[in-house]
Structure 1
Amino acid sequence: MKHIFLFVSFIMCATGAAQSNFNDIFAAGVADAERFTNAYMAPLSEGMVYSISNGWYNSGEAKPLGGFEISIIGNMASFKNKEDKKTFVLNTADYDNLQFVDGSVSKIVSSGLGDLEGIRVFVEGEIAPGVTSREEFELPTGLASENINFVPSAFLQVSVGLIKGTEIKARFLPKINTDDVAVGFYGVGLQHEFTSLLPAEKIWPVAISGVIGYTHLTGTYNFTDTDLIAGDNQEIDAKINSWNFQAVVSTKLPIINFYGGLGYISGNSKTDVLGTYIVQQGPFQQTIEDPFTLTKKVSGATANIGTKLKLGFFRLHADYTIAQFNSLSVGVNFGFR
């Protein structure tokens, strides 16, 4: 089994293709392959949206003019106890050619996040008058089969204070290339502290602000050919966009502070399955070029709570977010003012 790791365990949205036999599904034809891949990849794309959307703030206070903070942030969107994200129901009545070897009509199978192994399917058809061909293969499992129960992200983030009460943010992960994988992303955000507009703002015990953040991720994953499906330039090309809108409140103490937020995340993914796929065995032998594009929209409310420790230029923060994918965010920060 082949699984993918990117830089400090950063996993891109296309890691649903965790097994080298993923492209065997093309033996069932393009329509069945698209239907299966869409259901298989959707939870992974959703988890990635939530993972890259978090970590925009660690305080309700906006930095003053000239203040800055540089942060190294890691997010983990967990799906350990979310069986509805780790599996889906495959009903063969919805497919043209795909059948279960054990004769089942409907069965729970693994999504790109799951760990169900050994589920065998087959395709069968007449290739000549009176001559039938049958090909069996195993459906791919997902990340949980490798004891990975979260979708991680990691990046560098910079925050700079502008005019009174306003702070601009930027985040990025320089593009990383390996033999099979390339991934990178960037984002921009804005925080405005409403309490900075109030009279005698310095005596207020809390700070209240609004935060908007946009993140864009691109990644590609090159497939490995199998005996069943040959071809060239087989890859998944994924693009993910997310928006995070938050209302934030925090304490204003000199060393340790607590913060929390309520908000909404909206995102989408576009996944192009590219390359040449040559089905060499079974009844539906054919050559397929750039077979299909998958799209997924994600949205949902979020709530989080966290704490930040400030020791001069050095700061630490951690927070936990409750959402469709609960997430832990941890950051090491260096700042001035």
Structure 2
Amino acid sequence: MQFTPILMRKAVLKGIVLFVFCISNANAQSLPAEEIYFLIKDAIFFTDKYVTPATDAAVYQAASGWVSTPKKANLWDFKVGLHGNVFFVPQSDRSFRLSNSDLSFFRINQEGVESALTPSTLGSDQYIELIGELNGSPVSLRTPEGIDREVVFYPYLQGAVGLWYGTEIVAKFSPMIKLKNVDYQVYGLGLKHNLSQYFPSLEKRNLHFSVLAAYSKEDLTVNFLDVETAYGNLGLNALNSLIDTWQFQVNASKEFKRFELSTGFIMNTSDFEYKVNGPKGEIEKITPLQDILNGQLKSIARTKFNGIGEISGRYQFHHFYIQQTLAFGKFVNSNTALQYEF
């Protein structure tokens, strides 16, 4: 008999839950291991559907606006910019359909209703009620709401310093941005190298080319499943997503006196990891639910590749520049910057 990877993963999870229960239930009070297994299974399924649109969007927001200009930077040239990033939330990523057939522990708490549209992290402030039963006692919850916005705005600072041989080091940092039900932060470091310096004929025609390699960290925390039971809170109130993104891009530009028009193509790969954090629930006195769930959340960790187009216009007045950038692919992201060049 052959096992598929999915069946093997389910068997391993069930085995882990049973093992942990055998060694942790030294007190008189205990819970059925199979019910905990089904509860964790539902939590993992819901996590994947609920938070994935937000983590995908976070990568797009962090990818845009790295290159202010492909032009060669001179040694110790320094510029700093205040950026305002606007992400347009697509309708298709604001909700997902949740069915009773998807769930093992919970069911939709509405008679005769087998499925319902449920907000993702990027969705509305609506919710549905789910109900289950733990050791004969009812367990109910409201699914978490979304940010309830059609556009997401966040500001950040970006600076660059010219190094040797037409190379430039670029850094970006945003404060922790608090939206409804979501906290978000991004920071990163990159190296840009000018290529057109090797072709004087291109520079004479005000044509510039560059490449950039960058790393960024996106940190996203959402309000998650506030579940009360007869055994206390389950401690699943906050879900943290950590995203490591490696990015490579090529850019080209043409100068028209004070105006510069640039295009670029971005390729990045992102590693997604998820972890329930925050205070542990009272149920931990019976079983280490948070640790078990965090171990199983590794099953939905993944790596994704994105190809993103970018176009921008940059206008100079004295030592200031104003730049508008538009990134497009699966999503559309707009970035406006006011820069000062020392």
| TM-score normalised per structure 2 | 0.75
Aligned with 1:142 (options 127, 140, 146): 146
Tell me what 1:61 maps to.
71
> How far apart are residue 90 of structure 1 and its match?
1.8
For 1:137 and 1:326, how far apart are their aligned partners in 2? 34
Tell me the residue number matched to 1:98: 106
Query: 1:213-265 CA deviation, whole Å, 9 max, x = no partner?
Result: 21113355677967556266954333221122222111123311111112223
CA-CA distance at 1:331 after TM superposition: 0.8
Query: Any gaps of 5 or more consecutive residues in structure 2?
Result: 1-35
Partner-residue secondary structure (3-state), 1:45: helix
Alpha-carbon distance in structure 1 between the residues aligned to 2:272 and 2:208? 34
Deviation, 1:204, is 2.1
Contact conserved, 2:227 with 2:236, CA < 8 A, in 1? no
Structure 1 residues 195, 118: closer, same or farther in 2, change over 3 A? closer
Residues 278 and 286, structure 1, Cα contact 8 Å, conserved in 2: no
Q: TM-score, normalised by structure 1?
A: 0.76
Judging by fraction of residues, say which structure has more helix. Answer: 2
- In the alignment, is the contact (CA less than 8 A) between 1:270 and 1:295 conserved in 2? yes
Output the CA distance in 2 between the equivalents of 1:152 and 1:297.
26
In structure 2, what is the equivalent of residue 154 of structure 1? 155
CA separation in 1, counterparts of 2:237 and 2:139?
A: 22
User: What is the alpha-carbon distance in structure 1 between the residues aligned to residue 172 and residue 97 of structure 2?
Assistant: 38
Give the total of aligned pairs.
296
Q: Match of 2:39, as an amino acid?
A: G
Aligned pair in 2 of structure 1 residues 154, 244: CA closer, same or farther (>3 Å)?
Answer: farther
Aligned to 1:110: 119
Asked whether the equivalents of residues 165 and 197 of structure 1 are also in contact (C-alpha less than 8 Å), the reply is: no
Distance 2:48 2:41 in 1: 11
* Residue 170 (structure 1) aligns with: 171
2:269 is matched with 266
2:246 pairs with 1:238: no
After superposition, residues 138-287 of structure 1 pair within 5 angstroms as 138-144=142-148, 148-173=149-174, 184-218=185-219, 230=233, 234-274=237-277, 275-278=279-282
Structure 1 residues 210 and 98: alpha-carbon distance in aligned structure 2, compared to 1, 3 A threshold: same
Moved more, 187-196 or 135-144: 135-144
Q: Which structure has more strand as a fraction of its residues?
A: 1
In 2, the alpha carbon distance for the partners of 1:223 and 1:51 equals 22
* Structure 1 alignment gaps of length 5 or more: 1-25, 128-132
Higher alpha-carbon deviation: 315-324 or 95-104 = 95-104
- Does the CA contact (< 8 Å) of 1:28 and 1:123 recur in 2? no
Separation in structure 2 between the aligned mates of residue 68 and residue 158 of structure 1, nearest angstrom: 7
User: What is the rounded CA distance, in whole Å, between the counterparts of 1:44 and 1:181 in structure 2?
Assistant: 9
CA distance in 2, matches of 1:233, 1:124: 17
**Are the aligned partners of 1:114 and 1:141 in contact in 2 as well (CA < 8 Å)?**
yes
Instruction: Answer yes or no: is 1:322 the counterpart of 2:328.
Output: yes
Question: AA paired with 1:319?
Answer: T
Give the fraction of aligned pairs with identical amino acids, expressed as a percent.
Answer: 22
Q: Distance in 1 between matches of 2:135 and 2:158?
A: 58
Equivalent in the alignment of 1:302: 308
Q: Distance in 2 between matches of 1:202 and 1:135?
A: 68
Structure 1 pair 287–244 and aligned structure 2 pair: CA distance change class (3 A)? closer
Change over 3 Å in CA distance of 1:175–1:333 after alignment to 2: same
Counterpart code for 1:47: A
Letter in 2 for 1:196: Q
Q: Distance in 2 between matches of 1:33 and 1:212?
A: 37
Shift of 1:313: 1.2
SS in 2 for 1:265: strand
Which protein has the larger Cα radius of gyration, Structure 1 or Structure 2? 2
Q: Which has the higher contact order (CA 8 A, sep 6+)?
A: 1
Contact kept in structure 1, 2:59 and 2:218, CA below 8 Å: no
Rounded Cα–Cα distance in structure 2 between residues aligned with 1:296 and 1:122: 30
Shift of 1:141: 2.4
Q: How is 1:1-150 mapped onto 2 (pairs within 5 angstroms)? A: 29-79=39-89, 81-83=90-92, 85-100=93-108, 101-115=110-124, 117-124=126-133, 127=136, 133-144=137-148, 148-150=149-151
